[in-house]
Amino acid sequence: MDFLPAFLDLKTRTCLVAGGGEVASRKLALLLRAGAKVIVVSPDINSEIQQFIDSGEKLYWHKKKFAAGDITAKTLVVAATSDSAVNQEISKLCQQNNIPVNVVDAPKLCSFIMPAIVDRSPILVAVASGGSAPVLARLIRSRIEALLPSSTGAMASLADKYRSRVKLAYKSLALRRRFWENAFEGKFAELNEKNLVKDAEELLVDQIGMPISQQGNLVLVKVFGQQADLFCFRALRLMQQADHVFYSENFPPELLDLVRRDAGREAWSDDSLANVFQRVDSNERVVCLIDGYSQVAGEIALETEKRPIDFSLINGSTETTVN
């Protein structure tokens, strides 16, 4: 990973954009959407930047060439001039002064990059290629946009509005997680997708405080390959919901990265079979990621026949499911 994904709070912060052309206008538009105060340094500006100024945005134009002192007290800097030597100078000055800098079309001169964005505020999805393939990043963004309905932002805003009430109603983190998972995958989400926001809010309020099933379950995912993109959607979703995950020895780390970050993880050992069912009996949601060709998968399935538990068998690379 060449860059650390991070989101910056730029509200009331002052940022500098050097340049007055089309690329500069795209960059400063993003900064303005994030609530930043933007200083533009350039002898000339295009009509789009002028429109931002005329509309009363927090945008200020200094009609001059860039000078070293322009970076003083700036939270971040974007170099978008038509002069590569000036852009290099800006990059050098900023990095010497520990000011984050983005140089357009020059990733080696950047200390941060501006990714392709899917904006469903307050939900944001950022896609970046580290500057190596920005067109590909934009194509991936367009695919994600098609998957996320416009109602996603409204749903997240309602969740934020009632977050504290849900926290009071359910004392444990596990119960709160299950409440929100049920909401985001159930009728609440369906109503939001239909833009019935008022109905969705009323339903959410009615559901807060209602009993939530704490029954544990076991999902056996038989893995027949080592590529993350071969995993079926159902397997990925259950891996994100798991409280604890057991996995075969030498299981690919890139596949383990798909597991929910705060879930427990444990490599399969001689004691694992007993531990699996102890955790299920303790109302945990357990996922076993097991080599589909190993005897372990058969041992787990055989043991479930002796126990009245909620059990699912998934071939990880297909949608085949046995309940």
Domain spans of the chain, in order of start: 14-114, 115-148, 159-207, 217-322
pLDDT for the residue numbered 319: 45
The one-letter code for the residue type at 313 is L
CATH numeric code, 217-322: 3.40.1010.10
Measured between alpha carbons, how far is 288 from 290 in angstroms, rounded to an integer? 6
pLDDT for the residue numbered 321: 43
Check if CATH label 3.40.50.720 holds for domain 14-114.
yes
Return the DSSP state at 71. G
CA distance to 7, 15, 41, 248, per residue, from 111 (Å): 14, 15, 20, 39
115-148 CATH pick, 3.40.50.1820, 1.10.510.10, 3.30.160.110, 3.50.50.60:
3.30.160.110
Residue listed under structure tokens 């959607």: 233
pLDDT for the residue numbered 160: 96
Q: Evaluate whether 231 touches 316 at the Cβ level (below 8 Å).
A: yes
pLDDT for the residue numbered 258: 84
Running along the chain, 323 residues long, what does each successive block of 10 average in pLDDT?
A: 89 96 95 96 96 92 97 97 96 97 93 91 91 87 88 93 96 90 91 93 95 88 67 79 89 82 91 93 90 87 88 70 45
Structure tokens at 122: 């307050």
pLDDT for the residue numbered 317: 60
Tell me if residue 22 falls in helix, strand or coil. helix
Same fold, 115-148 and 217-322: no
pLDDT for the residue numbered 132: 82
The structure's pTM equals: 0.70
pLDDT for the residue numbered 323: 47
pLDDT for the residue numbered 148: 87
Q: Evaluate whether 157 touches 122 at the Cβ level (below 8 Å).
A: yes
